[in-house]
Chains A and B, each alone.
Chain A
Amino acid sequence: GQNIDQPTEMTATEGAIVQINCTYQTSGFNGLFWYQQHAGEAPTFLSYNVLDGLEEKGRFSSFLSRSKGYSYLLLKELQMKDSASYLCAAMDSNYQLIWGAGTKLIIKP
């Protein structure tokens, strides 16, 4: 079956770096999305990876290894506003999104 795995919750310190991992199993693959979701708000798009490697976008970077079915989201210079849930979602061969349950990131001062 199709499945996405990511940690339920992580805690990090303001100003530090945190890596949120995601593993996926899908029928076919058309890319891996990361979304950020603040409490009470809709998810907001963070990144999209379809080729192996690292995509950097400001303080956030996302990595993909298709052969390993693995991705991670790297957040640098953490700020309090980064406290949110981070959703990993893989797109299968039918262009349907398979969503992870999300990783709640708690930032402490």
Chain B
Amino acid sequence: GAVVSQHPSRVICKSGTSVKIECRSLDFQATTMFWYRQFPKQSLMLMATSNEGSKATYEQGVEKDKFLINHASLTLSTLTVTSAHPEDSSFYICSARLPRGQETQYFGPGTRLLVL
């Protein structure tokens, strides 16, 4: 089956620093990847849709200048949390969708970010 990896699985950083999270589709090409954020005991919240070779589409309320998304290849999307603050501490999960409009999304294992 399709496998999506994320790196790092956990990261702790100081307030004001930037953190980059990588999402890779390991055995398929993903023209579309999704980035979600989830706070404890809350639902998964879609942050943005990342399309290979074009700008990401951000959900309402998500600051695109703060959460930089780059989808430079068909197997890699990156999310950079710039100038991170403690309120950015959360669980970030990506998913990737197979090409040709298949509906199944494959999710990565997630990245837990703790901003001190």
Contact = CB atoms under 8 A, between A and B. Distances in A.
Contacts of A94: 112
Decide if the interface of chain A is mainly helix, strand, loop or mixed. loop
Determine the interface band of chain A, counting residues with CB < 8 A from chain B: 20 to 34
Given A40-B103, A102-B104, A97 B38 contact: yes
A85 B103 contact: yes
A3 B79 CA distance: 28
Contacts of B110: 96-97
A60 interface: no
Contact of A48 (B36, B43, B101, B107): B43
Contact of B109 (A42, A45, A96, A102): A96
Contacts of B42: 48
A35 B44 contact: yes
B43 to A, nearest CB: 4
B94 to A, nearest CB: 11
26 contacts: A30-B40, A33-B44, A37-B103, A38-B103, A39-B103, A41-B103, A42-B34, A42-B36, A42-B49, A42-B95, A43-B44, A43-B105, A48-B41, A48-B42, A50-B41, A94-B112, A95-B40, A96-B91, A96-B109, A96-B110, A96-B112, A97-B38, A97-B44, A97-B93, A97-B107, A99-B107
Given A40-B103, A95-B91, A96-B91, A45 B44 contact: yes
Contacts of B36: 42
